[in-house]
Amino acid sequence: MSNKTLEDVAQTISNKSTVESKDKNFGSIILTIMIIGIIVNLVKIVQDCKEDQSSKDCACRVKKLCDRNSWYTVMRIRKTIRRSIGIEKYRTYGKAMVKSIMDTGNELTEEKLIEIVEATNNV
C-alpha cells in the first residue's frame, strides 16, 4: 500500500480549505504534509480506542464519526490541528481545516478509508 492515497486525500482537504479560507497562499506543500500528519494522528486516535479491530472496522468507525459530526469529534480534530500547526495559524485556518476534514471524510468511500487506515499502520 502506498502513501499516494494519503497524499490525494490531504491535497483534497488542502484545496477545500483554501476555498473555505479564501486565502490563495493557504494550499501549500507544507500544508499538505501537515494534513497527512493530522490524518495519521486522527486514525491512530480511533485505532487506540479498540486495538484489536481490523482495518475495515476502523474505516467504518472513521466514516461514522465523520457522518455524525459530533462536538467531541470536532474537538479532537481541532486539538490535533492545533498541535500540528500552532495556535496562530490555527486561529487563521483552523475553522476551514476542520470543515474540510469533516467534509472530505463524508465523501470518502469505504475502500479509500481502508487504504488510509492501512497506510497509517505502515507509518
DSSP 9-75: HHHHHHHHHHHHHT-TTSS-HHHHHHHHHHHHHHHHHHHHH-TT--HHHHHHHHHHHHHH--HHHHH
pLDDT grade for 95, boundaries at 50, 70 and 90: confident
Q: What is the reported pTM?
A: 0.68
Residue ranges covered by each domain of the chain: 4-121
How confident is the model over 19-46, as a mean pLDDT? 67
Of the candidate ranges 22-31, 59-68, 75-84, the one whose mean pLDDT is the lowest:
22-31
